[in-house]
Chains A and B, each alone.
Chain A
Amino acid sequence: MTSRSSRTGAPRTRPRHVVLSTAAVALLALSACSSGGGTGGSATQAAGTGGAAGGPVTVTLATFNQFGYEELIPEFEKTHPNIKVKHKKAATSNEARDNFFTRLSAGSGMADVEAVEVDWLPEMLQYSDKFTDLNSPDVQGRWLDWKAKAATDADGHLIGYGTDSGPEAICYRSDLFKKAGLPSDRDSVAKLFGTTWESYFEAGKQFKAKSKVPFFDSIGATYQGMVNQLPAAYENPGDDSITATDNAQVKKVYDQVVQAGITDGLSAKLQQWGDDWTASFQKDGFATMLCPGWMVGVIEGNAKGVKGWDVANTFPGGGGNWGGSYLTVPKQSQHPKEAQELADWLTAPEQQVKAFKKVGAFPSQKQALESQDLLSFKVASFNDAPTGQIFADRAKAVTMTPYKGSHYFAINDAMQQALTRVEQGTSPQESWDKWVSDVKALG
């Protein structure tokens, strides 16, 4: 026995005991903590607290990015004493989307109120039976038609209450325009851009003749504005079959934007949200861009120190919307009634205006667009542009909701890749052909 212990030298028992006791403590503490957190967490999803028993009902709300609800939630809880709200925030829309679809697929774990971005809404509409129909006389006519229609399924069920929207105008660098000898105040520039894509690109050519700075950031971003004006770009609204590759309108838009961006050289070839695009704001990367309301904040942040950004109250093709979200109530929820109440309250015009004032989330509610608070809103760094008024006008100018079916996301992604390829040097025809085969591979 003694021979063994002399061999290994170092005091081996002490570290082992330390290890053991740490383990014990950790496990004890863990079971205490997790039972608190666990039951708290799962209770809201599984059993449901209170409700019938008379105690407060806890409802979970899942959002992403910035909805501006931080101060609204305590207000809601005060005016609705029987409902407590737990707010779960994902950082980006993509993360929220991954989480959303994982839990939808697994059949459990979704929040009572789930925020959904308009980009992934179409896929959800295919499975609208997994969501509560939120139609009610309260909310009739609350939103702009195109906003509500996008969340209404084929059977007329409204599965999402609109929160914010992204009506688009055109943001531009007034100082660069001045340098190029072009009009630089908002109204004249709006006239210069005109109301069609042709006139916008024409203005671009004029600008290019007198300036080294590219006209817009990328053909992908510009394409996005154009394709959203086609009533049914990629799929057949009737049966959700894929018609993208045969749609002459899509090809026309593609050719048009490639002509303007590449052949006429108007594009800066900076893909949005990339590091180069972000850095380019400080380096005169481009002079104009299609601009939803929330982009103003982004430009402000990226272009700190750069003077001259402004907004022109026009949009080629009439009106455009980029972004915007909805609050939905999945059928997984144990408290659909309270969840609907919360969603209803949060998306009421008054609350949305408050959110706008806090984080710039532009309302989609008709009444909100009339609010004085909104219409008098100005952005100092944008040359005191009355963005409230401008985007309200733009919101009203949106006439239609494009049809987006269950394959929209994948097809559009493929198209964005095709356009990026062209900007990276691939020939437009070759890139188009690749896109066609990508789309065909989906089916």
Chain B
Amino acid sequence: MTAPTLTPAPAVRARRSARLVRRTQASRTAYVVLVVVLLASAFPLWWSYVIGSKDSAAIVQDPYSLVPGGHFLQNASTVITTIPFWKALGNSILVSTTVALLVVLFSAMAGFAFAKLRFRGRNGLLVFVIATMAVPTQLGIVPLFIVMSKLGWIGSLWAVILPSAVSAFGVFWMTQYLSEALPDELIEAARVDGASTLRTFWSVALPAARPGAAMLGLFTFIATWTNFFWPFIILDPGNPTLPVALQQLQAAYFVDYSLVLNGVVLMALPLIVLFVFAGKQLVSGIMQGAVKG
């Protein structure tokens, strides 16, 4: 779709006019829409904070109030001392990072092959990959448990990482993204220059895939972070991930929701920190991918 090389002048001009076009397009409607979206999006987190900062009596007696109580830090320290918080936090970071990396890597590799390489059975395999997304996973718990048991991984973090690292959606995504973001001419040029597939992948495909890969990585990280049920089934209480550890706060006939929702906020905080760091990276990545023509 695009010529493989750009002389500097048109590129610079394109960038400049792109910026111009974008800047002049910010409208009041856009801001209004976004403020509404922001309010709606932030509401559950805000409410979690509100409830997480009250004590349980205040919650039952004043359910609709949106004003926070003053007890957030106090509740937080209760949460942290009641459950194995730091261990769970460490485990969650480890698991989510590993899964995100594995998914991005394997999906990029497979996506590159599906999108840009020709081989026998390509279409069939890709359809197969997509079809696997259509099978409901609820019953898979039992056979998956059997597999983990045979591997001796019950209670191990690997039992959580490996199933999550299989992402048909990730493969599908990278396939679509690379088929568009990576012009064939680039690959041909690499081949002409004598590069092996590995070299092509490394030096051409991966850089082009960066924005899509960053997005996939971020989404995967968040999804793994908040995943509850399978880790709950397979892990031991001494070695939990955050959602599993936080669930223990609900272990009572009368649940103290101030602690539960406080835990929810604590669990979301690292992700928000990640946003701040990754967000800039992501945005610039998205924009860079755009400057092609």
Q: Do chains A and B touch in the complex (CB under 8 A)?
A: yes
With A41-B156, A88-B236, A301-B56 given, is the CB distance from A65 to B4 under 8 Å?
no
Bound form: Cα–Cα A33–B247 in Å = 22
Question: With a CB–CB cut-off of 8 A, which chain B residues contact A298?
Answer: 253-254
Tell me, rounded to whole Å, the shortest Cβ–Cβ distance linking B170 to chain A.
15
The reply to whether A42 and B155 form a contact with Cβ atoms under 8 Å apart is yes
The reply to whether A282 and B60 form a contact with Cβ atoms under 8 Å apart is yes
With A95-B247, A279-B63 given, is the CB distance from A107 to B155 under 8 Å?
no
Bound form: Cα–Cα A45–B234 in Å = 12
B233, CB-defined interface residue at 8 Å: yes
B158, CB-defined interface residue at 8 Å: yes
Kindly specify which of B22-30, B66-74, B117-125, B201-209 makes contact with the partner chain. Answer: B201-209
A38, CB-defined interface residue at 8 Å: yes
Bound form: Cα–Cα A295–B203 in Å = 65
Tell me, rounded to whole Å, the shortest Cβ–Cβ distance linking B78 to chain A.
15
Question: With a CB–CB cut-off of 8 A, which chain A residues contact B207?
Answer: 8, 12
Bound form: Cα–Cα A42–B6 in Å = 58
Contact of A40 among B155, B161, B208 (CB under 8 A): B155
Digit string of A81-104 for contact with B (CB within 8 Å is 1, else 0)?
Answer: 000001111111001001100110
Bound form: Cα–Cα A359–B61 in Å = 23
The reply to whether B94 and A91 form a contact with Cβ atoms under 8 Å apart is no
In the complex, what residue of chain A is closest to B247 when comparing beta carbons?
A91
Dominant SS among interface residues on chain B: helix
Contact of B153 among A8, A33, A38, A99 (CB under 8 A): A38
The reply to whether B63 and A26 form a contact with Cβ atoms under 8 Å apart is no
The reply to whether B189 and A91 form a contact with Cβ atoms under 8 Å apart is no
Tell me, rounded to whole Å, the shortest Cβ–Cβ distance linking A44 to chain B.
8
The reply to whether A89 and B237 form a contact with Cβ atoms under 8 Å apart is yes
The reply to whether A4 and B145 form a contact with Cβ atoms under 8 Å apart is no
Question: With a CB–CB cut-off of 8 A, which chain A residues contact B60?
Answer: 278-279, 281-282, 301-305
The reply to whether A37 and B157 form a contact with Cβ atoms under 8 Å apart is yes
With A88-B237, A279-B63 given, is the CB distance from A106 to B145 under 8 Å?
yes
Kindly specify which of A16-24, A237-245, A334-342, A384-392 makes contact with the partner chain. Answer: A16-24
In the complex, what residue of chain B is closest to A8 when comparing beta carbons?
B207
The reply to whether B145 and A103 form a contact with Cβ atoms under 8 Å apart is yes
Question: With a CB–CB cut-off of 8 A, which chain A residues contact B193?
Answer: 1, 4
Bound form: Cα–Cα A82–B5 in Å = 74
**Total chain B interface residues with beta-carbon distance under 8 A:** 56
Question: With a CB–CB cut-off of 8 A, which chain B residues contact A139?
Answer: none
Contact of A7 among B4, B145, B251 (CB under 8 A): B4
In the complex, what residue of chain A is closest to B55 when comparing beta carbons?
A304
B129, CB-defined interface residue at 8 Å: no
With A16-B206, A41-B236, A305-B61 given, is the CB distance from A108 to B149 under 8 Å?
yes
Bound form: Cα–Cα A237–B235 in Å = 38
Digit string of B67-88 for contact with A (CB within 8 Å is 1, else 0)?
Answer: 0000000000000000000000
The reply to whether A42 and B145 form a contact with Cβ atoms under 8 Å apart is no
Tell me, rounded to whole Å, the shortest Cβ–Cβ distance linking A27 to chain B.
7
The reply to whether B238 and A294 form a contact with Cβ atoms under 8 Å apart is no
With A12-B210, A89-B237, A301-B254 given, is the CB distance from A30 to B203 under 8 Å?
no
The reply to whether A297 and B253 form a contact with Cβ atoms under 8 Å apart is yes
The reply to whether B248 and A89 form a contact with Cβ atoms under 8 Å apart is yes
26 A–B pairs (Cβ distance < 8 Å), ordered by A? A3-B5, A3-B189, A4-B189, A7-B4, A9-B288, A16-B206, A26-B94, A27-B98, A34-B156, A38-B155, A40-B236, A42-B156, A88-B237, A91-B250, A92-B250, A105-B142, A106-B145, A107-B146, A108-B149, A279-B60, A282-B60, A304-B60, A304-B61, A305-B60, A305-B61, A359-B252
Further contacts, 17 of them, CB under 8 A, given A22-B97, A91-B248, A92-B251: A3-B5, A4-B204, A8-B207, A30-B98, A38-B156, A41-B156, A42-B155, A66-B253, A89-B251, A91-B251, A98-B233, A99-B232, A102-B141, A103-B145, A106-B142, A106-B146, A304-B56
Closest 4 CB pairs of A and B: A41-B155, A38-B156, A301-B254, A91-B250
